[in-house]
Structure 1
Amino acid sequence: MARFEALYGRRCRSPVGWFEAGESSILGPKIIHEALQNIRVIRDRLATTYSRRKLYAYNRKGPVEFDVGYQRVGEVAYELALPVELASVHPVFHVSILKKCLGDPAWILPVEGLGVGEYLSYEEVPVEILDRQV
């Protein structure tokens, strides 16, 4: 069976490539039945593949809604109510950056103890020299 026929469910309009070189057999009902069975199998497998791809593609897509502590600015932007420590950060974010958080409040670290500067930068301090070359 040709790839075109398997993909589109019909034969190619051009007669070139319908038959292999040297092929001269008469098509009987058995061969036609086998070809139809192959086409059904291929279509079923393609439908399974398309449905699986659709499931994975649309798994994370769809309308994203946030309610507590958020204010919708546009269709794809939200303004966050940030704490005073993060006053230097712009409060409007795109929806693709925001993610639903189901974390434990005990994991939240204070910004003061981390050594973060005014512009949310920090100084890197080496702890240990692992290798030396002369």
Structure 2
Amino acid sequence: MAPFKALYGRRCRSPIGWFDSAEMDSLDTDLLRDAMEKVRMIQYRLLTAHSRQKSYADLRVRALVFMEGDHVWLRVSPVKGVMSSGKKGKLSPRLIGPFEILSRVGEVAYKLALPPSLSVVPPVFYVSMLRKYISDESHVISLDSMELGLDMTYEEEPIAILDRQNPRA
């Protein structure tokens, strides 16, 4: 007994389950031919859509490979709505570092040399969290002003209140 029939007490009526080799003669051949043609057309269109989307995605993918001793930026995520480092929104830092790569862990992860202020964060990061560092002294962001959590987020805190709105005015 077929699994569908065992579960529901009747045969499966989807176009794929309509035909068994023994029952092909008893069904109308035009109906069977139309159903099989529709299934082939659906499969072809799905394959076309899949290959089109894959070609779009492949344009954006680039293989990042770092060597031991290279320096990289580390991506962090600010918690929205609160300020730190005096910058708000688009201007808040998204990358910190640079950090040295100590070793490669598997195909897509790297172990970094993190400072003691980031001791709560595990030192192994997925390659998508890293960006290549090109040496420039103006890039260095102080880590003393940020406290990162385990999920690589930090909370922004306001430095000063510059203006208040008077509700009575």
Q: Structure 2 length as normaliser, TM-score?
A: 0.39
Q: Structure 1 length as normaliser, TM-score?
A: 0.46
- Give 1 or 2: higher strand fraction: 2
- Considering only CA atoms, is the larger Rg found in Structure 1 or Structure 2? 1
